[in-house]
A and B are shown apart, each in its own frame.
Chain A
Amino acid sequence: MSPNPIGNRVEQLAQSLAEHIVPLIVDAIDIDSILDKVDVEKIIERVDVDKIVERVDVQKIIERVDVQQIIERVDINAIVNEIDIDSLVEQTELGSIIARSTTGILTEVLDVVRAQGVGLDDFILRWGNRLIGRGKKFRDWPAGPPLLVGSEAIAPT
């Protein structure tokens, strides 16, 4: 505080004037019109991004990041479910890797026999039940044991 009582009074006056005038000025300014006049493109052109990046200590930022916490927050199962694995295998070299590493004549025969067995199982189930007049009632039957498919799952035939 000033030791001079007159100076003290002037200071208080200036402060109360500022308190009244500043809000009036701020209200009077049309910020939108000022922004309209600003050429943002020109400002961006002037910015030297490389210089900014050079000044940033990326290593320090990386050290601050808690990767474990990020991983914990990511639902990897949901991401994997989003991936269309069929098209991934079709369109990338993954297909040839799988083919080279696992395709043997025995594997091929087993794949065919098993898949055709499933098809024939469905056929027999469908027609066997139709023959005794059950129609399509067997479609409400459970698909599998509750621990393996859940209690709500019904047969896909």
Chain B
Amino acid sequence: MTTVPVPSPALTVGRQGNYAGAVSRLAAFAADVGASWGLYTLGVALLNAALKLATGHSFTLSNHQLAAFIVLTLWEFLYFTYQWAVSGKTLGMAILGLQVVTRDGAPISGRQAVFRTVGLGITLFLTLGIGFLGIVYQRNRRALNDYIAGTAVVYDWDARAARLRWIARKEGPAAPRQHIV
């Protein structure tokens, strides 16, 4: 049984479709960086093992810095673009219950997914993160990459089900209950 109190509807059911805030988006991004980096490392290790098995020689991608940089950039581009184009959310966003939508709230197109990924790189490296301040200070909580792609990020998790689970946990499955007559 959980000791966490049931959060108010203002933090759960009432927020579906609302613009997502900075902390949720940052946490989702951190999870995505971790997941993409982990998958990249795993992929490189598998590639090394396969090459060693096939040629008998060991190949380490990190010894070729330019190649490693290009592969990593392409991989990150693919990681974000593919997931946004297919489902409007990355792995990290799915964990945090976020979704990328158009300015009006419709599903995004593949083109917008590409622009959003390129915009993410610009916001991260060219503006040194200043482009993300729009999430806190702009009325539609949109960062620079959202402006570039014409998108916004909203809460998408099934908060109603989560609230019911909370209430159910608070009561505990073994607690005596009344029957519906």
Contact = CB atoms under 8 A, between A and B. Distances in A.
A28 to B, nearest CB: 55
Contact of A148 (B23, B105, B141): B105
Given A92-B180, A108-B169, A146 B105 contact: yes
Residue of A99, A102, A121, A138 with highest tally of chain B CB at under 10 A: A121
Interface residues of A, number: 47
B164 A144 contact: no
A16 B27 CA distance: 98
A107 interface: yes
Interface string A82-126: 000110011111111011101100011011111101111111110
A3 interface: no
A113 B27 CA distance: 10
Q: Which interface class (under 10, 10 to 19, 20 to 34, 35 or more) fits B?
A: 35 or more
Given A103-B169, A124-B22, A148-B101, 9 more contacts: A86-B167, A96-B173, A96-B177, A98-B165, A99-B173, A110-B162, A112-B4, A115-B12, A121-B21
11 contacts: A96-B171, A103-B168, A107-B165, A114-B157, A115-B12, A117-B96, A121-B20, A129-B137, A132-B137, A145-B105, A146-B104
Interface of B: 2, 4, 7, 10-12, 14-24, 27, 95-97, 101-106, 136-137, 139-141, 152, 154-155, 157, 159, 161-175, 177-180
